[in-house]
Structure 1
Amino acid sequence: MKKVTLLLFAILTISCAEKVIEPPQDLIPKEKMVEILHDLAILNATRTSFGSVLEDNDIEIMDFLFLKYEIDSLQFSNSDRYYASIPLEYQSIYEEVESKIQKQRTSLEEAKKSRNDSIRKVQEAEKDTVNVKKEDPTPSSN
């Protein structure tokens, strides 16, 4: 039984590491693919909240990305299919995308907190100024 389990494990390991699809001639490099998929995720989230703005300005997300990254739909599709044929590589790409999104989220939350702290400090300073004026009226010269 141990030999059968070991054999199945070896076959599974080899099949996961084997390239099922040959890399296309115009394969998008992994780093660029991460950038494209990151932007795609952000733009798709934007479409959920601000879809009418995109429509009003005739912005097609995929056309925008193809233009920005100087690629075409066939190159993107072939590259995506190639990376998907290597599950560990594909997972690594999406983990990098997720990491970039998380870093942006953290940065935005910190900026928002900093902005709120600044507003609070200004409001407290204004209150202090008002309180000082109420407590310490300027003496009149009579």
Structure 2
Amino acid sequence: MEVLSAIISIIGIIVHIIQKADHSSYRSSSISYTDTTYQVVHEFTPQEKLDNMNIDSLNICYKTAGIANFSIENARRMLLNKYIQDDFYIDDIIIRQNCMYIKLMHSIPYKSVNKCYGASFSINFMTVNDGVSVYGSKKINADEEQVFKEIANELIKAVS
């Protein structure tokens, strides 16, 4: 009985080796392509996007201007459709009442080509005085603060 089980084990090992050899020779002689398309697993809701932007930290005013006949929806369209800026690009815009939250990518220094830094800004419209303010988060680094000031200037120019 032990001899029979040993023979079966040896035959199983030989079959396994033959299958592996056959599979590896088949792989090397054939060309295969892998489908690299990806499905969207989860699309963030506007509220989830705002949570990820950490909008509570947008408490430093970088630029304020008076703009007559300001429309937040027109400003949104201008930023998404017509405003082209090489120094940063807009990733997403979410509007809540008279406030627009903007997620963008920029570079440090401001005129550099590598836009690998993400930042969030808010553009707030005050109906009382037709004032528009651009808010961002506090920056400790002087270079980052300068970039934020320049982005705020560009945003104000774009929505004016």
Q: TM-score range by the shorter chain?
A: under 0.3
Higher relative contact order, structure no. (Cα contacts within 8 Å, ≥ 6 residues apart): 1
TM score, norm. by length of structure 2: 0.19
TM score, norm. by length of structure 1: 0.21
